[in-house]
Amino acid sequence: MPQITVDYSAELAPGFDRPGFARALHEEVVRTAAAKPEACKTQFRRGEDTTVGADGEGHAIVHVTLGLLAGRSDETKARLTEAALELLRQYVKPDGGLALHASAEVRDLDPSYRKFDA
């Protein structure tokens, strides 16, 4: 915990500092949600096909999902999503005039969540 997933349009790859974003987001999760640094895990998933609106041309999407153990207040979750969006502004620089559609959400992990480290 936390489990972080970042879905992003393939067109963003050249201008998206993914390692930098992950490190900065991990620091923010530790500060805001009292997570342990070694517990922060981020997986990036590149989407090859993105469509926005009727024509779909000239747009790119990035969406951050943060899965946390239950117990954080709505205020904490909102602060964390706002921080994630601000970090995206810093670490994603779309090329070629792409319109960037960025979003973030925090979800409580299901009570069945378990993990192991090998």
> Per the structure block, which two tokens stand in for 30?
């530790």
> Per the structure block, which two tokens stand in for 48?
């090859």
Q: 36-52 pLDDT, tens per residue?
A: 999 999 999 999 988 88
User: What pLDDT is attached to residue 52?
Assistant: 85
Domains and CATH numbers, the chain: 3-108 (3.30.429.10)
Angle at 35 between CA 30 and CA 39, to 5 degrees: 110
In degrees rounded to 5, what are phi and psi of residue 23? -60, -45
Q: Which residue has the tokens 């979003």?
A: 103
* pLDDT band, residue 26 (cuts 50/70/90): very high
Say if residues 56 and 20 touch (Cβ distance below 8 Å). no
Residue 16 CB-half CA count within 13 A: 21
Please compute Rg for the chain using Cα positions.
15
DSSP secondary structure letters along 62-92: EEEEEEE-S---HHHHHHHHHHHHHHHHHHB
User: What pLDDT is attached to residue 1?
Assistant: 76
Q: 68-116 pLDDT, tens per residue?
A: 999 999 999 999 999 999 999 999 999 888 999 999 999 999 999 998 8
